[in-house]
Structure 1
Amino acid sequence: MAQAATIAAPPEGAPKPRRYALVVGIESYSDANLPDVLGDKDADNLAKALEKYGDFPAGQIVVLKDTHGPEGRRKSDGLPAKQTIVDAAGRLSREAGPDGTVLFAFSGHGFDDGAEDYLVPLGVETKDRVSLRVGALLVRDLVEALQSGQPREVILLIDACRQSFGSTANLRPFAGRLDASSGNVAALFATSQGLPSQVRPDGAGGFFMKAVADRMLVAHKENSRMAMANFAKRVQEDVSAQTHDCHECDQQVPAWTLTSSTPAEFLLVDPSRENPSDLLTVAGSRVLVAPDGSEVHVTDQRTGEVVVYSRSRALALGSDTAVGQRPSRSGSRVVADGPRGEVYASDEARGRVLIFASGESRAPVAVPLPGGKPELMVLRPSTRRLYVADSELHVVDVIDVAARAVVSRIRQRFPIPTRITGLALSPDERFLYVANQGGEGSGRLGNISIVDLQKGEFPDADIGDVNCPEGMDVSPDGRHLLVASQCGGGFDPLFFVDLETRGVTPLSGFAVGRSVAVDARHGKVFVARVGTYMRDESGTLAAVPAQLSGVDFARRESLFSYPLDVHSFAMTPGDRYLLAVGGQQLHVVDAGTNRVVKTVFFDSPAAGVAVGAGADGRNAICYVWLPEENRLFFTGLSGLAS
């Protein structure tokens, strides 16, 4: 059976990957019109990340900067003058060759003269327009040098809009543009066109390059072959969140562009360390046979997904049996109705819910919603009613899945219309819990409203004292509601709600909460947390990556946290494994050891994950909803084995 898998490290003596990098950083210019930009610190941080996390060999990274810095910092391989940059770009490109990757990073000043983009190297004079253009480096010329060895791909990381600079040249900020003639180039720019990027308040460089390095660390720890499209999106989110949370800063959102038809290439982190020259091309894929013949690795050139055909023994994920699988009570964008052999997916972009026949490839049935966008869903199996949150219209739509139609609508109950961020169903199927995010001007940061589904009405009292509730799950005995949260000033709690007394017990320290899953077998709660930017005890801003955390349910104590960027959960039968999706990946987490034991890669971002019985009612199946492809991925649990 074909199984997506991570790739093991290469054996001793394996050839170095053909990955080359030229990193340019300028701290200060001699011209008074060019303010200091601390680009040398960006160069240090990025060069370190490329070597440690990006699988760029140290001997294949060239750093050009105007400072050597204190002891322990990377020494410069030369000054970042115009001709030095061009010469180094051409040399590295030729060394990389047709199967190589060349990365160019720049942190300094740049400008647009109305027709072309320029980078400002060391030694430029800004006294007039002609002097500036003569001394500056035309981006088109730089790309030509980077392409001189005809490498397989070129990656640009450009922070050339740090600040505007005074000059009689009267030029525009760096625009960051590439055209189709640039060839196979992916470029990630520090900010949107015409807007300035910013230095971190701690003086450690810019927000952009720090976010790139931090995101590389996360991908490295996850052993992830993260394609540029997904990597760029994560960096955009990180920089936007960090500058939003910085009181002295303006909002900054990076931009990226691509001139290639293979968007899943351009890997800043490549844990496979495959040497493309050792691979055969077969029907659009690269194929590599392990030396002992035990595995065949296939890399799809279009998507970058690695598939492993293996003879190794399958991992026992509770086997394929659906025995012990309890119905999901937590809101998700994909829901499995095991007994009926159906799967429901919220198609937000098209305003509909899709109904798939479990384990079959025939076209799904579409149930259109009357306006708005479907998001989280939860199924009430006894009545075959699917409850679908719609934050745009501030309602929960009720779908009769047997009739394939919306039959009623529950209006959100909150002082002002706001987001619905969580749904949960009590085990006896009587109560539906609706998390309301809170809204400006409402005087409240959120609550959880309760719908009595038997009576079809709201009880008098809501559950208060919850800041910006997010994902929720109900304990199997129905006594507790577990709620992730935000808006807690960096100490966002995990809330334990006693559903009998409506009492709320917060456990602080889980910023920024997104989703939760109850593991009854091991007595714990898993919490998915979004990356953020916080001040430490000294007041220094520090990046906090997205994390997976665990909490002891009985003792209300934190058990572990480690970087893992996920947003949706599902437990396998008997709570032996946690399935977690985030970005273009599905992670299999051993619920006993809390470690990732398997990662599956997709062509596009996963919106949700579910586990349910197949059409035969016996075999358990994992489902992952991929909305950009309008596709439901499914596999038996043994299909996730490595």
Structure 2
Amino acid sequence: MVMEHSLSRRLFGLGGLAGAVVVSARQGFAADDTAKAPAPNEDAPKERTFCYVGGYTKHGPPGGNGDGITVFEMDRKTGALTSLMTFTDIASPSYIALSPDHRLLYAVSEINDFDTTHSGAVTAFSIDHSTGALTKLNTVASGGADPAHLSVHPSGRYVFVANYTGGTVAVFHVLADGSLGRRTELIHNTGPRMPDRAADNPPGNYAVSDHSSAHPHMVKSDPTGKYVLVMDAGLDRVYVWALNLQTGKLTPAAVPFTPMTPGSAPRHFEFGESGKKLYLLCEQDSKVVVADFDPQSGKISPVQTVSSVTAHFRGSTLAAGILLSPDERFLYVSNRLGDSLAVFQVAKDGGLTLVDEIWMHADYGRSLMFDPSGSYLYVANQRSDSITSFRVDKTTGKISFTWDFTPVGSPTCFEFITVPVS
């Protein structure tokens, strides 16, 4: 493990001061007087919030300016992020995910030369809640080139990995100490060649998505943990598998996949808490598809498609991140190239209405993430080498720029934890 720390230390000479207080008390109080303990500091923080940021390093196909996984502490009043340390012994950790108990963190290395099979890698870490520091537990081959996403099953027993260039989805068993054990599944989907651009692109969009083969871009279970969904940006499909919790094997659902608009490149998704509403983001045509999800059968039924850019927009853009507010009243989408953030109001039936689109104040925004309180929205801006933050109006859903820029090389993803101060 390699850590770069920037922690300050202050030493207090309390010995002599304590003696002076004792003498004063003996001289100034009557026999029945009792010296009172100092009142507790009501302003002392009872909790700390750590923010983990991953991104691209020089080692990786895209090439980046990052150094590894940087640990920040968040000022809970202002939203400002202060860098504490960076775990540097990892290549291009472009996506990270926490265990359900927030004691473990997992990271992909979006590379293609981890071993002789041209695989990427996955690393497991333990988290020191007193300092936020990461300790590497182990690293294993991801089962395919350039893993772009990973997630942890709600039980904490399995880690799912989407190998973008390799075209595979892998499942890993989690051992008792949180390290990664055996690979229990590896699936490689196939399908017909899809168009590089979608017919319903925004006007003037010259950006293309790679449809040369299968490109799994996200893998995650539904809230119940019964099904595992994969967004395949190369085949323009959303796959659904049932997970055997005992063996870690995947079995196709009754409807094994749902086709999306040809060329649309389905990228990421968000589930409503009930698990019955699903929001599917397609990067190429910058569309959000609202769908009903049947938790019993795993069937996906699209009901609405909306654009993440306004009708006034012209030019190239690719949608990137999608985020549902904690109360599920608003949905947010980042648009790369167009450098905007879309704000949708969510109706009672789950339908979306675009209510605002604002400038990202940076370039090529990727992942979006709320702080644990839901008061601030953060954006990882890959090409600007910065994190920008926005204050959230929880009543209207609208966001306002804080004018706070946090420098970090080629950021792409976040995770937050809040821990008690002992």
Calculate the TM-score normalised by the size of structure 2. 0.58
CA–CA distance in structure 2, aligned partners of residues 378 and 558 of structure 1: 29
Higher strand proportion: 2
Q: How far is the alpha carbon of 1:509 from its aligned partner?
A: 4.7
After superposition, what is the alpha-carbon deviation per residue over 1:420-451, rounded to whole angstroms, capped at 9, x for unaligned? 12233211111111011235xxxxxx110101
User: What amino acid sits opposite 1:529 in the alignment?
Assistant: N
Does residue 1:585 correspond to 2:386, yes or no?
A: yes
Corresponding residue to 2:259 among 444, 448, 464: 464
Does residue 1:530 correspond to 2:336, yes or no?
A: yes
The residue number in structure 2 matching 1:478 is 275
User: What amino acid sits opposite 1:477 in the alignment?
Assistant: S
Does residue 1:353 correspond to 2:122, yes or no?
A: yes
CA–CA distance in structure 2, aligned partners of residues 603 and 502 of structure 1: 38
Contact 1:338 1:613 (C-alpha < 8 Å) held by counterparts: no
Gaps of 5+ in 2: 1-5, 8-55, 57-61, 68-74, 81-93, 115-119, 193-212, 310-316
The residue number in structure 2 matching 1:400 is 173
Show the 5 A alignment for 1:107-186: none
Q: How far is the alpha carbon of 1:585 from its aligned partner?
A: 1.6
CA–CA distance in structure 2, aligned partners of residues 373 and 413 of structure 1: 16
CA–CA distance in structure 2, aligned partners of residues 594 and 559 of structure 1: 11
The residue number in structure 1 matching 2:226 is 430
The residue number in structure 2 matching 1:293 is none
Corresponding residue to 1:344 among 91, 103, 106: 106
Aligned-CA RMSD value: 3.3
Q: How far is the alpha carbon of 1:516 from its aligned partner?
A: 0.5
CA–CA distance in structure 2, aligned partners of residues 386 and 515 of structure 1: 21
The residue number in structure 1 matching 2:323 is 517
Higher helix proportion: 1
Contact 1:334 1:609 (C-alpha < 8 Å) held by counterparts: yes
User: What amino acid sits opposite 1:550 in the alignment?
Assistant: V
Contact 2:380 2:386 (C-alpha < 8 Å) held by counterparts: yes
- TM-aligned CA distance change 1:552 to 1:340, over 3 Å: closer
CA–CA distance in structure 2, aligned partners of residues 389 and 596 of structure 1: 33
Q: How far is the alpha carbon of 1:563 from its aligned partner?
A: 2.3
The residue number in structure 1 matching 2:36 is none
Show the 5 A alignment for 1:219-234: none
CA–CA distance in structure 1, aligned partners of residues 182 and 339 of structure 2: 36
CA–CA distance in structure 2, aligned partners of residues 395 and 581 of structure 1: 26
The residue number in structure 1 matching 2:289 is 495
CA–CA distance in structure 2, aligned partners of residues 391 and 548 of structure 1: 25
Q: How far is the alpha carbon of 1:398 from its aligned partner?
A: 1.3
- TM-aligned CA distance change 1:585 to 1:478, over 3 Å: same
Contact 2:189 2:214 (C-alpha < 8 Å) held by counterparts: no
CA–CA distance in structure 2, aligned partners of residues 518 and 340 of structure 1: 20
Does residue 1:413 correspond to 2:189, yes or no?
A: yes
Does residue 1:560 correspond to 2:356, yes or no?
A: yes
What count of residue pairs does the alignment treat as equivalent? 278
User: What amino acid sits opposite 1:499 in the alignment?
Assistant: F
Contact 2:152 2:159 (C-alpha < 8 Å) held by counterparts: yes
CA–CA distance in structure 2, aligned partners of residues 388 and 483 of structure 1: 18
- TM-aligned CA distance change 1:610 to 1:558, over 3 Å: same
Q: How far is the alpha carbon of 1:339 from its aligned partner?
A: 1.4
Question: What is the percentage of aligned positions where both structures have the same residue?
Answer: 13
Contact 1:338 1:612 (C-alpha < 8 Å) held by counterparts: no
- TM-aligned CA distance change 1:578 to 1:406, over 3 Å: farther
CA–CA distance in structure 2, aligned partners of residues 603 and 465 of structure 1: 35
After superposition, what is the alpha-carbon deviation per residue over 1:588-614, rounded to whole angstroms, capped at 9, x for unaligned? 222324123264433421131112355
CA–CA distance in structure 2, aligned partners of residues 414 and 481 of structure 1: 24
Does residue 1:375 correspond to 2:137, yes or no?
A: no
The residue number in structure 2 matching 1:69 is none
Corresponding residue to 1:551 among 319, 330, 344: 344
Q: How far is the alpha carbon of 1:338 from its aligned partner?
A: 5.1
- TM-aligned CA distance change 1:591 to 1:423, over 3 Å: farther
Does residue 1:452 correspond to 2:242, yes or no?
A: yes
CA–CA distance in structure 2, aligned partners of residues 347 and 406 of structure 1: 18
Contact 2:96 2:150 (C-alpha < 8 Å) held by counterparts: yes
Contact 1:425 1:474 (C-alpha < 8 Å) held by counterparts: no
Q: How far is the alpha carbon of 1:487 from its aligned partner?
A: 3.7
CA–CA distance in structure 1, aligned partners of residues 308 and 97 of structure 2: 30
Equivalent position SS for 1:339: coil
Contact 1:474 1:482 (C-alpha < 8 Å) held by counterparts: yes
Corresponding residue to 2:159 among 365, 386, 396: 386
User: What amino acid sits opposite 1:502 in the alignment?
Assistant: I
After superposition, what is the alpha-carbon deviation per residue over 1:316-360, rounded to whole angstroms, capped at 9, x for unaligned? 659xxxxxxxxxxxxx81111251511111112242112222122
Q: How far is the alpha carbon of 1:452 from its aligned partner?
A: 0.9
User: What amino acid sits opposite 1:503 in the alignment?
Assistant: S
Contact 1:512 1:529 (C-alpha < 8 Å) held by counterparts: yes
The residue number in structure 2 matching 1:163 is none
Contact 1:431 1:450 (C-alpha < 8 Å) held by counterparts: yes
- TM-aligned CA distance change 1:589 to 1:412, over 3 Å: farther
User: What amino acid sits opposite 2:412 in the alignment?
Assistant: A
Larger C-alpha radius of gyration, 1 or 2? 1
Contact 2:344 2:355 (C-alpha < 8 Å) held by counterparts: yes
User: What amino acid sits opposite 1:376 in the alignment?
Assistant: H
CA–CA distance in structure 1, aligned partners of residues 151 and 185 of structure 2: 14
- TM-aligned CA distance change 1:522 to 1:601, over 3 Å: same
- TM-aligned CA distance change 1:384 to 1:577, over 3 Å: farther
- TM-aligned CA distance change 1:410 to 1:385, over 3 Å: same
CA–CA distance in structure 2, aligned partners of residues 372 and 385 of structure 1: 20
CA–CA distance in structure 1, aligned partners of residues 332 and 288 of structure 2: 10
Gaps of 5+ in 1: 4-229, 231-236, 238-262, 265-302, 304-312, 319-331, 440-445, 532-544, 620-642
- TM-aligned CA distance change 1:585 to 1:524, over 3 Å: same
- TM-aligned CA distance change 1:486 to 1:369, over 3 Å: closer
Corresponding residue to 1:333 among 95, 98, 103: 95
CA–CA distance in structure 2, aligned partners of residues 413 and 503 of structure 1: 21
